[in-house]
């Protein structure tokens, strides 16, 4: 008899053989220092935590996930609105709290309006598909949610070389020779690339988009809250009026959950009617909305981002002085190792010294470019940074990465 089921054990065995099997690792709390436990998988029961470790692996960049003001804002949302939105926002799940957050996001992104989604992933796939472009131009290292959005849009997708405006211009020029006069083009890029730590050349991309009458969409997931007035790289570069679609998340520097799109009034009206990941999803839970709004206020009014950048500078300088190659130019510090197994061993040795920083290996990055992704937070103090640098120096010597 023919069998039509799924042999998932074989797939998992293949992952094991290729060194790609990953496990969940429960954390005691979201903070700059916490305890972790081995993956209990489906066995249930109590979780046995290890000794506390410094976390240099979180996207909680401003360290606001445990800020009491943010927690109180979530509590107020629970008591005032409820624990859940209860329905799609187009049914009964749209609250005054959602609208207040969207007004704040539009203000810091300097746009007419913003729309909050249940996740950043939902914002990207829903927006790209809803725009229905005839042709997409996507950076080679864009996030998976952008890639999946391009797939769902069912348009011709042209991948241009990473952060290379010359290659993008050449591919736009080539496409123009065969394009219909009424085609709609969308150029999509991350602003800060989460695995390389580099920043897209946004002004050059704006110029190319304007030359060809295309729209530019920028994913500010790893930049929102870290630059001017709580904005992202778009705001830092003064490009708010030249980027057609600004996307971002509430789950990183804003220490909550969800995503958003900011832009013109017609853009938001179109998305709330046509983006399937918005129309057919329950509205973002009110506690997440309240927490994100308070975190955004803190990001706009306080100097936490300045503290983060000071920590980033000390870490980068210390790692490079020790002999490491550190990629990028942002708050994400990829420590290049090269060999896949060596990166895993180095991360393990760093962990033995009480510092959590994950190895990033193929297929997430190209073969031969495995790395350790170091992500500091504004709440890391000088002693934390010194401990991280000491861990990398001792671990690097132990595995032969450093002399």
List, as one string, the DSSP characters of 158-202: EEEPTT-HHHHHHHHHHHHTT--TT--EEEEEESB-TTT--B--H
For residue 207, the model assigns a pLDDT of 98
Cβ contacts of residue 117 below 8 Å, gap of 6+? 123, 126, 258, 259, 260, 261, 275, 277, 278, 281, 284
For residue 335, the model assigns a pLDDT of 98
For residue 2, the model assigns a pLDDT of 73
Q: Which fold has domain 8-65+303-399?
A: 3.90.1150
Over the stretch 11-59, which tens digit does the pLDDT of each residue have? 999 988 887 888 888 899 999 999 998 888 876 667 889 889 999 999 9
**Which DSSP state fits 84?**
S
- Taking 3-state DSSP, the helix, strand and coil percentages for the chain, each rounded to the nearest 5, stand at 45, 15, 40
Q: Which of 118, 145, 191, 194 is catalytic?
A: 194
- CA-nearest of 151, 136, 134, 249 to 191 is 249
- CA-nearest of 290, 389, 258, 294 to 64 is 294
Q: Which fold has domain 68-301?
A: 3.40.640
Whether 222 is a known active-site residue: answer yes
Give the angle 378-379-384 at the CA atoms, nearest 5°: 110
Q: Taking a C-beta distance cutoff of 8 angstroms, is the pair 97, 286 a contact?
A: yes
For residue 44, the model assigns a pLDDT of 67
Instruction: Give the count of beta carbons closer than 10 Å to the beta carbon of residue 80.
Output: 12
Whether 256 is a known active-site residue: answer no
What residue ranges of the chain have pLDDT lower than 50?
none
Per-domain residue ranges for the chain? 8-65+303-399, 68-301
For residue 41, the model assigns a pLDDT of 80
Instruction: Give the count of beta carbons closer than 10 Å to the beta carbon of residue 93.
Output: 18
For residue 1, the model assigns a pLDDT of 66
Report the percentage of the chain scoring pLDDT > 90: 89
Q: Taking a C-beta distance cutoff of 8 angstroms, is the pair 147, 185 a contact?
A: no
Cβ contacts of residue 346 below 8 Å, gap of 6+? 337, 359, 372, 395, 396, 399, 401
Whether 252 is a known active-site residue: answer yes
Q: How far apart are CA 10 and CA 47, in angstroms?
A: 28
Q: How far apart are CA 396 and CA 393, in angstroms?
A: 5
Q: Is 4 helix (H, G, I), strand (E, B) or coil?
A: coil
Q: How far apart are CA 127 and CA 306, in angstroms?
A: 32
Q: Which of 98, 143, 171, 252 is catalytic?
A: 252
Over the stretch 73-85, which tens digit does the pLDDT of each residue have? 999 999 999 999 9
Residue tagged 């249930």 (tokens): 44
CA 121, distance to chain mean position in Å, is 9
Q: Which of 222, 277, 281, 370 is catalytic?
A: 222
């Amino acid at each position: 008899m023919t069998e039509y089921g799924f042999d998932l054990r074989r797939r998992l065995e293949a992952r094991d053989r290729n060194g790609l099997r990953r496990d969940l690792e429960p954390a005691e709390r979201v903070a700059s220092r916490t305890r972790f436990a081995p993956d209990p998988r489906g066995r249930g029961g109590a979780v046995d935590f290890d000794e506390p470790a410094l976390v240099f692996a979180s996207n909680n960049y401003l360290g606001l996930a445990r800020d009491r003001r943010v927690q109180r804002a979530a509590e107020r949302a629970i008591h005032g609105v409820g624990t859940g939105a209860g329905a799609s926002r187009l049914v009964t799940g749209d609250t005054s709290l959602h609208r207040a957050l969207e007004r704040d996001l539009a203000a810091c992104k300097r746009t007419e309006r913003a729309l909050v989604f249940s996740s950043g992933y939902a914002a990207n796939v829903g927006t790209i598909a809803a725009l229905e472009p005839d042709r997409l131009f996507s950076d080679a290292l864009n996030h998976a949610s952008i890639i999946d959005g391009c797939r769902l849009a069912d348009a011709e997708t042209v991948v241009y070389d990473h952060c290379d405006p010359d290659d993008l211009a050449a591919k736009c020029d080539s496409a123009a020779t065969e394009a219909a006069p009424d085609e709609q083009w969308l150029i999509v890029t991350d602003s800060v690339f989460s695995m390389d730590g580099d920043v897209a050349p946004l002004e050059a991309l704006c110029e190319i988009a304007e030359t060809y009458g295309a729209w530019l969409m920028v994913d500010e997931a790893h930049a929102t809250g870290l630059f001017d007035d709580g904005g992202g790289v778009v705001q830092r570069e003064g490009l708010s009026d030249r980027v057609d679609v600004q996307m971002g998340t509430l789950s990183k520097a804003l220490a909550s959950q969800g995503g958003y799109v900011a832009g013109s009034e017609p853009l938001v009206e179109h998305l709330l009617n046509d983006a399937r990941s918005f129309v057919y999803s329950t509205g973002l839970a009110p506690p997440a909305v309240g927490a994100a709004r308070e975190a955004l206020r803190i990001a706009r009014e306080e100097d936490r981002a300045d503290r983060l950048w000071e920590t980033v500078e000390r870490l980068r300088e210390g790692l490079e002085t020790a002999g490491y190659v550190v990629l990028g130019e942002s708050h994400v510090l990829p420590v290049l190792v090269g060999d896949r197994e060596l990166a895993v061993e180095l991360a393990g040795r760093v962990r033995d010294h009480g510092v959590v920083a994950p190895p990033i290996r193929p297929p997430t990055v190209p073969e031969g470019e495995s790395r350790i992704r170091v992500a500091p937070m504004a709440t890391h103090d000088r002693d934390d940074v010194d401990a991280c640098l000491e861990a990398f120096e001792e671990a690097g010597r132990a595995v032969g990465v450093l002399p």
